[in-house]
Amino acid sequence: MDSKLIEADCLIIGCGLSGSVIARFLAEELDKRVVIWERRNHIAGNMYDFKDSHGILVHKYGPHAFHTKKEYLYDYINRFGDWNPFYLTCLAKIDGIFTPSPFNFQTIDDFYLPEEAKEIKDHLLLAYPDRQRATILELFENSDIVIKNFAKFLFEKDYRPYTAKQWGIDPSKLDTSILKRVPIFFSYDREYFDDPYQIIPQESYTSIFHSILNHNNIRVELEVEALDYLSVSPGGNEMLLNGNDIDIPIIYTGALDELFQGSGESLPYRSLLFDWKYEEIESFQDAPVVAYPQAEGFTRITEYKKLPVQLVHGTTYAIEYPVDYKVAENEPYYPVLTEQSQADYAKYKSFAEKIRNFYFCGRLADYKYYNMDQTLERALELCQKLKSEII
Ligand SMILES: Cc1cc2nc3c(=O)[nH]c(=O)nc-3n(C[C@H](O)[C@H](O)[C@H](O)COP(=O)(O)OP(=O)(O)OC[C@H]3O[C@@H](n4cnc5c(N)ncnc54)[C@H](O)[C@@H]3O)c2cc1C
C-alpha cells in the first residue's frame, strides 16, 4: 500500500455535495482544518458542469435542476452564489407523439378520443378531489376500472419499457419507492417538479462548489484514491492510514461495499453512457429533456442550451444510454434498490457503524437515490452529529 501524510484535523473522502457541505461546516463552525480527497480530477461530484468546446455549459454526469420544499435548504444553497428560478419541463415520445412528462391532462388528450379523454379526467378528479397529482402506483391500486386502465396504458407504453432500459430488470423486482417517483398531474401543469423552490445556478454548479470550498481551513486534493491509503483494521473497529492507526475523524462519502472490499456481495448500481453531439442548429428539441421510452437502447436526450437557457449559436445534446456498472470502467450512478441489495447494504452499514471515529453519508455511502436537496439535508444532519461528537 502507498503511504500518504495528513496534516489536518479531519479527513473527508469525496468532494461532491455531501463532502463539500460537511467540509465547510467543520472549517467554518468548528474551526477544524479539513482535507478532502477526491478520486476524480474535479470537484462537485455528479453536479460538476463545465463549458464545452462550443462554449455551452453542460452537466458532465447528466441533467441537474435543484428543487426543494424546504426553505432552510434553499437559504443554505443561496449563501454560495446567485441562483435563478428554473422550472424544468420535459417531454416523452410515445407512439411518435411528444407528450408532457410527467404525464398530465394533455397526455390524456394526446392519446384518447375527446369523449374517452373527458371520462378519464372526470374519474381522476372525482377519485382524487383534493390532490394535484398521484403516482402511477396509486392509480394502479384504484378500484375504478377507467383509472386502472389508464394506469395500465401508461405502464405498458412508458413505464415498463423505460424501466427495463433504465434498470436492466423487470419493474416487479424494484423497490416500490422507484415506482412512486413517477407522478401524473391532474391538470395541464407542465412543470416537472411541484416544489416551491426550483432553481439553477446563475453561473454554474461548479462555481457554487468553489464558493462552498473557499475557506482557509479547507484543502482539496484531487485524483487521490482514498482506498489506496485507507483500510479497515482486521478487527473491524478502526480505520487505518498507510496500515497504521489514524486518530482523526474520517467522513466517507464513497460506496461502503468498496470500503469493505471482499467482505461480501458488491452492491448493484446502474451506470450511464453519454453520447455527446453538437449541431450547427438553433434548437434540437422542444424541451431541455426528452424521454424516449420506446427507443432502442437510450432513455433520454438532454439539450444543454435549454438547461439553463443559453443564448449561443449551435447546440450540444447528450443521448443517455443506461448500462451495467463495472468498477473502474464507469460510474455508479443509481443504486439498484431490490430486497437483496438492501439486505446486503444493511450488512455493510452495520460494519461501518462499528468503526471508531468514522462517519458516512451521501448517495453512495447511504445507498439511496437522493436528490440534491435530500443529499444536502442528510449532510447538514450529519454536521449536527459531528458538532456534538468532535472535540
Ligand atoms: C444522472 C443524474 C441526474 C440527477 N439529476 C438530479 C436533479 O435534476 N435534481 C436533483 O436534485 N438531483 C439530481 N441528481 C442527484 C444528485 O446528483 C445527488 O443528489 C448529489 O450529487 C449527491 O452528492 P454526493 O456528494 O452524495 O455524491 P457524489 O456527487 O457522487 O460525490 C461523491 C464523490 O466521492 C468521490 N469518491 C467516492 N469514493 C472515493 C474514494 N474511494 N476516494 C476518493 N474519492 C471518492 C466520487 O468521485 C465523487 O466525486 C441526479 C443524479 C444523477 C446520477
pLDDT at 2 over 70: no
Residue nearest to atom 48 of ligand 1 (CA): 45
Please write the tens of the pLDDT for every residue from 147-206.
Answer: 999 999 998 999 888 988 998 877 777 776 766 767 899 999 888 888 999 999 999 999
Average pLDDT of the residues of the chain: 94
pLDDT at 361 over 70: yes
Please write the tens of the pLDDT for every residue from 3-43.
Answer: 787 889 999 999 999 999 999 999 999 999 999 999 999 99
Domains and CATH numbers, the chain: 10-49+202-266+335-389 (3.40.50.720), 103-190 (no CATH)
pLDDT at 142 over 80: yes
Count Cα atoms within 13 angstroms, Cβ side, for 171: 17
Output the nine-digit C-alpha cell for 369: 437515490
- Give SS3 for 324: strand
pLDDT at 342 over 80: yes
Please write the tens of the pLDDT for every residue from 328-341.
Answer: 889 999 999 889 99
DSSP line for 259-287: HTTTSSPPPPEEEEEEEEEEESSS-SSSS
Ligand 1 atom closest to the CA of 333, numbered from 1: 53
Banded pLDDT at 1 (limits 50, 70, 90): low
Q: Ligand 1 — pocket residues by CB below 6 A?
A: 13-19, 37-40, 45-47, 61-66, 225-227, 253-254, 333, 362-364, 370-373, 375
pLDDT at 81 over 80: yes
Output the nine-digit C-alpha cell for 214: 473557499
Ligand 1 probe mutation, 372, 376, 381, most atoms within 8 A of CB: 372
pTM over 0.85: yes
DSSP line for 169-228: S-GGGS-HHHHTT-EEESSS---S---SEEEEESS-HHHHHHHHH-STTEEEEES--GGG
Residue 179: what pLDDT? 65
Residue 214: what pLDDT? 98
Task: Please tell me the distance from the alpha carbon of residue 113 to that of residue 117, in angstroms, as a whole number.
Answer: 6
Residue 68: what pLDDT? 98
What number is the average pLDDT over the span 310-314?
95
Provide, rounded to the nearest whole percent, the portion of the chain with pLDDT above 90. 84
Q: How far is the CA of 17 from the centre of ligand 1 (A)?
A: 7
